[in-house]
Amino acid sequence: MISGKTALVGLLGQPVEHSISPIMHNAALEEMKLDWTYVPMPCNKSDLPTVLNALSAINCRGLNVTIPHKESVAKLCSSLSPIAKRIGAVNTLIPNKKGGWIGTNTDITGFLEPLKKTRKEWKGCEAIILGCGGSARAIFAGLEDLHLAKITIVGRTPNKLEAFLIDLKTISSESCNNPISLTGYIHDDPNLNNQLNTADLIVNATPVGMAPKRTPPSEPLQIPLGLEAWKNLNSKTILYDLIYTPRPTAWLALGNEHGCKCIDGLEMLVQQGAASLKLWSGIEKIPINAMRAAAKKCLSI
């Protein structure tokens, strides 16, 4: 029930109407008995400065930021956490007592949480990231923190891949003293096949396979790099798809057939949301089960 004392938290993006974050967060707020409500707020890039000032003025308790504003918002914060500074992207805003907003990023925590459960030690392992967009950047930083030995990026657009690799080298050299071997491949490079068969982890950070783009049964399945690329998939390779609709994606279904451990994007979504709520509320124990259950119900799983 919204009362005269109800405080505001919410999501800034464009579009936001398909987001399941409001359902997930409001389920948690109810369980926590916090008199807050989480509202989706569609916002154009040009309006961001005005909207952020206004929300600060009305004592909004916290914000999530989604596509396409994660990088623009980073430039509007009064301060940035080290991780947001490192990757240049913000998905969480916390009110700054000195005025304005503190920008941080919980996507990395969200991504790593389910991954850490799959094996104790990632040090020295080799990973492949498919895609070179916003989330691939956060994933690279997360994998670097796990001290992987080698990360291969696969992109479809040569100039974007090249720019992305230069960017990652900057992130890498600015961060820890952990030298990582970084290489890039264009998605149809035949030399990529060997890497696909020997990697410890492959992450799909492209939208390939996401519903509603799933094709009718008569048409080829939406599988990153195409079906042929995975014919020699090693059962020891862990497949991690950031997509959570459908469950499983065609790629993860293929991984299951090959005996691979498979992770989809739902847990990442839940964990990054829980990490944001912890930062806004200062409450350690977030009802993650309620958030997960609400998300699954919304996706009708």
Catalytic residues: 70
- List the interface residues with ligand NAP, window 270-299 (CB under 6 A): 272
Pairing type for strands 262-263 and 238-241 reads: parallel
Judged by CB, which is closer to ligand NAP: 128, or 132?
Answer: 132
| Site pattern 3..42 for ligand NAP (x: CB under 6 A) | ----------------------------------------
Instruction: Out of 103, 155, 255, 287, point to the residue binding ligand NAP (CB under 6 A).
Output: 155
- List the interface residues with ligand NAP, window 179-218 (CB under 6 A): 205-208, 210
Q: Name the segment binding ligand NAP (CB under 6 A); options: 2-10, 171-179, 252-260, 262-270.
A: 262-270
In angstroms, what is the minimal distance from the CB of 211 to ligand NAP?
Answer: 10
The dihedrals phi and psi of 29, each to the nearest 5 degrees, come to: -60, -40
| Site pattern 65..104 for ligand NAP (x: CB under 6 A) | --x-------------------------------------
Judged by CB, which is closer to ligand NAP: 123, or 160?
Answer: 160
Q: Is 244 in the site for ligand NAP (CB under 6 A)?
A: yes
Residues 6+ apart with CB under 8 A from 79: 96, 100, 102, 103
Q: Is 239 in the site for ligand NAP (CB under 6 A)?
A: no
**β partners of residue 94:** 102
Judged by CB, which is closer to ligand NAP: 9, or 210?
Answer: 210
Torsion, Cα of 195, 201, 202, 203 (10° steps): -150
How many residues bind to ligand NAP according to rule CB under 6 A?
A: 25
Instruction: Out of 21, 135, 172, 276, point to the residue binding ligand NAP (CB under 6 A).
Output: 135
Residues 6+ apart with CB under 8 A from 152: 126, 127, 128, 129, 182, 183, 184, 185, 192, 195, 199
Instruction: Out of 20, 199, 202, 242, point to the residue binding ligand NAP (CB under 6 A).
Output: 242
Instruction: Out of 133, 150, 193, 214, point to the residue binding ligand NAP (CB under 6 A).
Output: 133
In angstroms, what is the minimal distance from the CB of 69 to ligand NAP?
Answer: 11
Q: Sign of the C-alpha dihedral, residues 53, 58, 61, 66?
A: negative
In angstroms, what is the minimal distance from the CB of 207 to ligand NAP?
Answer: 4
Instruction: Out of 24, 52, 136, 223, point to the residue binding ligand NAP (CB under 6 A).
Output: 136
Q: Which long-range contacts (CB under 8 A, 24 or more apart) does 115-124 make?
A: 115/142, 115/146, 115/201, 115/238, 115/240, 115/263, 118/238, 118/261, 118/263, 119/238, 122/146, 122/147, 122/148, 122/200, 122/201, 123/147, 123/148, 123/149, 124/148, 124/149
Residues 6+ apart with CB under 8 A from 235: 258, 259, 260
Element (H, E) at 222: none
By CB under 6 A, name the binding residues for ligand NAP.
Answer: 67, 107, 110, 131-136, 155-157, 160, 205-208, 210, 242-244, 265, 268-269, 272
